[in-house]
Amino acid sequence: MTESKPENGPSELQLIKEQIARLYDDAEGRTARHLALIGFEQDFPPSGMMFPGGHESYQAYIEARLNFIDGNFIATILLTQACMENFLAGCIIMEELSRQIHGLLAETDTAMPKLPTLKWLLQRSHDWSILCDEDKLMLIQLSEIRNPLSLYRSMSDQTKLSRRSANEDISERELLEGDARLAISIVAKVIPKISNSFVEELLTNLGQMG
């Protein structure tokens, strides 16, 4: 689909120049964040890994990492949360299938709700050993980073960004960069740990049934 050019709008050449200029804006910061991201992803297998949760979890991570490099920190935080919720839901569905096949699904193991809450996803993932204690705590921390950005907070709330900025005497952007760095580092640590152990073991078990 070709977008129509608005009347009296900028020319394509002007837009191209603007995009090129943006690439050079904060080049030092972009490079530093890219290098940091490479460090966060050091446990990612070079041959690739599975992203349970479908295209949503994978694409959310891809967009989160690109936004982190570009300095779009709120987008990074919100996307990392979206990535993990879809990723965990996919893992739970796979584990439930495996338990059904092996006759290990208990009567108390209720089916996943159509709209599972984060609390439900974390608890079921922990109960079924998809997440260890440390991973669960890190993902709770991730949600605590996300919540003040996706849900309104008044100035009396200590988690509100502008309140934190005033209390800590740090700019909002610096706080957001630190939060985004922590958010994507958590996801980059948890995902390969699950994918490299739980998913591979699960696929092996399912393959033995073939």
- pLDDT tens sequence for the chain (210 residues): 455 566 677 888 888 888 888 777 888 999 999 999 999 999 998 888 888 888 999 999 999 999 999 999 999 999 999 999 999 999 999 888 888 887 888 878 888 999 999 999 999 999 999 999 999 999 999 999 999 999 999 999 999 999 999 999 999 999 999 999 999 999 999 999 998 776 667 667 666 655
| Residue-level pLDDT at 6 | 65
HSE at residue 187, side-chain half, CA atoms within 13 A, is: 33
**pLDDT the model gives residue 1:** 43
Of 106, 105, 88, nearest to 96 by C-alpha is 105
Residues 18-30 as b or e (16 or more Cβ within 10 Å = b) = eeeeeeeeeeeeb
Taking the mean position of all CA atoms in its chain, how far away is CA 207? 29
Look up residue 161 and give its two tokens: 């960004």
Tell which residue, 81, 96, 82, has the closest CA to residue 130. Answer: 96
Q: What is the pTM of this model?
A: 0.87
Instruction: Tell me what pLDDT residue 47 has.
Output: 81
